[in-house]
Structure 1
């Protein structure tokens, strides 16, 4: 095959251009640190890097939702802690109000103190979350979720909790109704209460009083409603317990102040002076006891003058029971919020690991091995230099240059 001088020149220039382009591409990769600049460089590697990048963006979005949830849960946990401290102060005031030596003006003073603490609780219940909403608004409210109306505090928020919408459903708010208005009445299993005296309803409800009671044997509980009736007075007084749901008498015995009465897994204690016709009810507990209902009832009773020692002891014991119930419910909600914060910490750790894995995958797919890249660039540079020298030698090998020598 005949090879002309022009063909040799064209071939040399084409080789120089290819080597120059390859060297330029290597230089660009070294500058950017990327092995893949365009999808055409490596379609498989580009797809792998794109999948990793999509996963990283999803993790970033989830982390933003997590931080928003953490902020709201931290605000809620702090608010519940503040509310619990105030409720403990109210409980101390109520214990003091049970002192038989206190006068009506002294109990009025305690009522004013509890009123001030109640107003602080209402402020906590309507605490803003810093983003235009409220910590206890649940699934949303047009304004403050708790309204202090003439008939008492009303919850106008939407029960429930807003979720983030991602796979793990981070809570973005706290159900205010559950925290403030959904305690179980009584001791959590049943509710004791005094009833009008059946012999002389015009007198105070009873000469004796009943405590909050307790469960002695959960296996024997029936869920029925009961009445405890006192017959006679003094040393001859007796009691009888009627299961009004089934219409049967389940217990009878002599009345003795401070003695425990046991029946159907329930234990209650009657204290004080027996009076013929005294009657007490025992009903199954239900959900729906609100913090502000308990406080409003307590304030009203403390401001009622001329109550006897029995009335004071009975109402104070019942209000302490109800207050303990709402405190317990709020502590349970605080525990739940704390558990959510713990879950967020665990979720954040998992997301950090997932993000690191995808960043590693992305880097492995598209990043340049710098040592290999430098080596390739140096080899291409040496090849380009050799091609230049070869071209310089070839271009002098023409007949005209030879004749000029």
Structure 2
């Protein structure tokens, strides 16, 4: 009996010893593995809670790295767009300088046509810049989404240029900025917002002058975007001696209605300066010595490209110095408005780049 108990006790002691040795060897192996890997948790079974926390941390790191790569691509695209707008501004400034040169009274018609050729080259550069793409082949000025070529034109029917996309500037997020800028805001014009109209004058013979100021918006809510034809119908210098009274018709298209207007009289010894009535929400003044049969055509310019095309056409086809003076005055007025639009969008690009710096 005693011998049996002794054998059972020896067997239990042996089993316990073997189990303890095995556990110590396993613990030693785990410690050696931890030392070798430099990690406290090598596999999920070592510490499920810590393993889950580590997995979440790794996922966050991966997302941050992805966001940083995306942000860098966005920053590069916006920087490229901002640089492109800078190039456009420089080209417009050069265009403006040539327009001023074309207004020099010593230039012949042939010399003005030569200037128009250089203006055409600058216009083509500006249009190509507006449709420029980033390194991924996406338009820099696609706004909220556009075709691969956002700007289309010139077209045979009005409007001569269109933005082939959805206008608007995409918003930034906590970790990202947009890839593109709003090309519609930069290059396209709205009659009520911008008041960009091109006014041309019929051929005025030598010895007389007739030019206009630039159109301005006086009541944006009343502007319809219509075109206007102003025709001088009567110049009365006899009813009141020493005073000239000019009558004119204003035809609005659409709808094609005509309204007769009579301007306040002015001293006959002076040149006229007449504010045109009958243009809803708009103000226009013509100056000089009007005569019966003179006409003024006022039409909205839907884009900066329209402004440039009108300037080139009017300078090239100017019949005399009066025509050149009118073309130059209109071009400078409208180019300045267009440049202010581009400058505003370029400022938005700078704000986006600053935001990208703050995110990083």
Q: Check whether TM > 0.5.
A: yes
Higher helix proportion? 1
Other-structure match for 1:96: 101
Counterpart contact for 1:186–1:322, Cα < 8 Å: no
Deviation (angstroms), 1:344: 2.0
1:135-168 alpha-carbon deviations (Å, 9 max, x no partner): 34553535x5556667497557434579699876
2:231 and 2:221 mapped to 1: Cα distance? Answer: 16
Deviation (angstroms), 1:90: 0.4
Other-structure match for 2:306: 293
* Helix, strand or coil at the partner of 1:132: coil
Question: How many residues matched?
Answer: 333
Other-structure match for 1:183: 189
Q: List runs of 5+ in structure 1 lacking aligned partners.
A: 197-201, 350-405
1:346-395 alpha-carbon deviations (Å, 9 max, x no partner): 2x33xxxxxxxxxxxxxxxxxxxxxxxxxxxxxxxxxxxxxxxxxxxxxx
How does the TM-score come out when normalised to structure 1? Answer: 0.65
Deviation (angstroms), 1:85: 0.4
* Helix, strand or coil at the partner of 1:108: helix
Other-structure match for 1:252: 264
Counterpart contact for 1:62–1:166, Cα < 8 Å: no
Other-structure match for 2:32: 27
2:141 and 2:295 mapped to 1: Cα distance? Answer: 41
The reply to whether residue 318 of structure 1 matches residue 330 of structure 2 is yes
The reply to whether residue 43 of structure 1 matches residue 48 of structure 2 is yes
Structure having greater relative contact order (Cα 8 Å, sep ≥ 6): 1
Q: List runs of 5+ in structure 2 lacking aligned partners.
A: none
Counterpart contact for 2:131–2:151, Cα < 8 Å: yes
- From the superposition, tell whether residues 183 and 169 of structure 1 become closer, same or farther in structure 2 (CA, over 3 Å): farther
Deviation (angstroms), 1:86: 0.6
1:287-322 alpha-carbon deviations (Å, 9 max, x no partner): x622322222222222225x2333222222112222
Query: Superposition RMSD on alpha carbons, in Å?
Result: 4.4
Counterpart contact for 2:88–2:126, Cα < 8 Å: yes
The reply to whether residue 118 of structure 1 matches residue 123 of structure 2 is yes
2:123 and 2:335 mapped to 1: Cα distance? Answer: 13
The reply to whether residue 272 of structure 1 matches residue 288 of structure 2 is yes
- From the superposition, tell whether residues 145 and 37 of structure 1 become closer, same or farther in structure 2 (CA, over 3 Å): same
Matches within 5 A, 1:381-396: none
Deviation (angstroms), 1:179: 3.0
- Deviating more after overlay: 15-24 vs 88-97: 15-24
1:242 and 1:41 mapped to 2: Cα distance? Answer: 93
Counterpart contact for 1:228–1:280, Cα < 8 Å: yes
- From the superposition, tell whether residues 278 and 165 of structure 1 become closer, same or farther in structure 2 (CA, over 3 Å): closer
Deviation (angstroms), 1:81: 0.8
How does the TM-score come out when normalised to structure 2? Answer: 0.72
